Amino acid sequence: MKLSYKLSHLFLCSILIALSSLLTACEKPAADIVHAAKEPQRNEAPVPDLSQICQNLKKEMTTMDAQRTTLAIEQVNQDIRLCVPLMKPAEQKELMRLSKQMYQQFLHLDRTAEQQQAFETYVLDQSAYPTIQQSQFEQLNIRDQYLLRHKGQAYIELIDQGDNKVVYRRNPQYLAKVFAPYLIEPEQKFIENLAEQNSQPLFKNQKLDLSADEIAKRAKFWQQYVLDYPESSYIADARYLENAYSSLLFLGLENEPVSSNFENANDVNEAYWTVIENLAQSKDGELSIKAQKFEQFIKMSAEQRKQKIQLSVKEQTKLENNPQLLALSQLNQFLNLKPINFKNLKRDCFSDAICSAT
């Protein structure tokens, strides 16, 4: 009996020892699994050094040239998005200036006279006949071939300036998308709206490519911008744009005036007259006042204009034999508009999302 008990006890102990060994053996692989799971963390790719990226950014931008790819310029643009939020306003503007230089260098081409002719022929023919022959494409400068294949990438586009002149340019939306989201509100509003307005050229075949309604809409926008953001760093440009679109609305262009001689309402372009009448009856601030004065001017006789609007003797003498130019000069002064020569702009606010000296 005692022997049987001892054997049973011994057997039980053996089982317990075996189970204990088994549990110990199971614990080790679990620890190894946890350790293995942590191991890859030591092998992960290092996090990019943002300070280093921003430090090298200006060098990357200034060394961009016509040998680089659209992928390279897109990478720089991505780095700009990372760095702009960390910069002070003066640094942000410096980066915008460098971005213009970067694209000018990237889009620079040296064509022979034959290559220039081939480029213009190909581009203009392709717009009319999309299935243009590959043989014509192969006559182009190698860089032209590359840029045409990648048109639409990295904000690169072709723009028809009229008179068979087609050029590459950086789309105005570039500054609106890459820079504007990270700027203070007045600058963001200025850039985003000017980019939208300048997405299409102002002129086509030497003629204004805007309706009277659109011109008035833009004049009202810039008038309101001046009121809303008087401390904006772009306030001078906003005033310039307000004056420019007001001039286009009430005066027109030298080769495309709103009226021949501004003698009466019937002598005014119908679409413009309708817009001006509506403005005169609305409450759109200074623009409405100008519209009301325009109506007054139209009703004046030549003698009344001469008495009420004092031009210099020199200008009066110079223009007295040219009724149209005389009326334009008088109206310009009566509405307190600053003359703008759109054929020879000293400041270009009509091709990008910011203004620049020409």
C-alpha triplet 89, 93, 99: angle, nearest 5°: 145
Q: Does residue 172 contact residue 352 with C-beta atoms inside 8 Å?
A: yes
C-alpha triplet 22, 23, 25: angle, nearest 5°: 65
Using pLDDT thresholds of 50, 70 and 90, give the confidence band for residue 129: low
Count each helix (H run) and each strand (E run) in the chain, helices first: 16, 8
First-residue to last-residue Cα distance in the chain = 116
SS3 of 357, please? strand
SS3 of 83, please? helix
Burial letters 254-291, b for 16+ CB under 10 A, else e: eeebbbeebeeeeebbeebbebbeebbeeebebbbebb
pLDDT for the residue 43: 56
Q: Name the phi and psi angles at 256, rounded to 5.
A: -150, 60
Instruction: Count CB atoms within 10 A of the CB of residue 345.
Output: 15
Q: Name the phi and psi angles at 268, rounded to 5.
A: -100, 140
For residue 311, give the DSSP letter.
-
pLDDT for the residue 20: 47
E strands along the chain, which residues? 156-160, 166-170, 203-204, 207-208, 252-253, 256-257, 347-348, 356-357
pTM over 0.85: no
Instruction: Answer yes or no: is pLDDT of 312 > 80.
Output: yes
pLDDT for the residue 124: 84
- Can you tell me the distance from the alpha carbon of 167 to that of 40, in angstroms, rounded to the nearest whole number? 51
Average pLDDT over residues 72-76: 97
Q: Comparing 198 with 46, which gets the higher pLDDT?
A: 198
The first and second tokens of residue 47, run together, are 């996090």
Question: With pLDDT > 90 as the criterion, what percentage of the chain qualifies?
Answer: 66
pLDDT digits (tens, 9 = 90+) for 247-294: 999 999 988 999 988 999 999 999 999 999 999 999 999 999 999 999
Residue 343's closest CA among 207, 164, 209, 170? 207
- Can you tell me the distance from the alpha carbon of 288 to that of 219, in angstroms, rounded to the nearest whole number? 11
User: Which of 97-101, 206-210, 341-345 is predicted most confidently?
Assistant: 97-101
pLDDT for the residue 1: 43
Residue 171's closest CA among 77, 95, 235, 241? 77
Report CA-CA distances (Å) from 73 to 61, 94, 172.
8, 18, 16
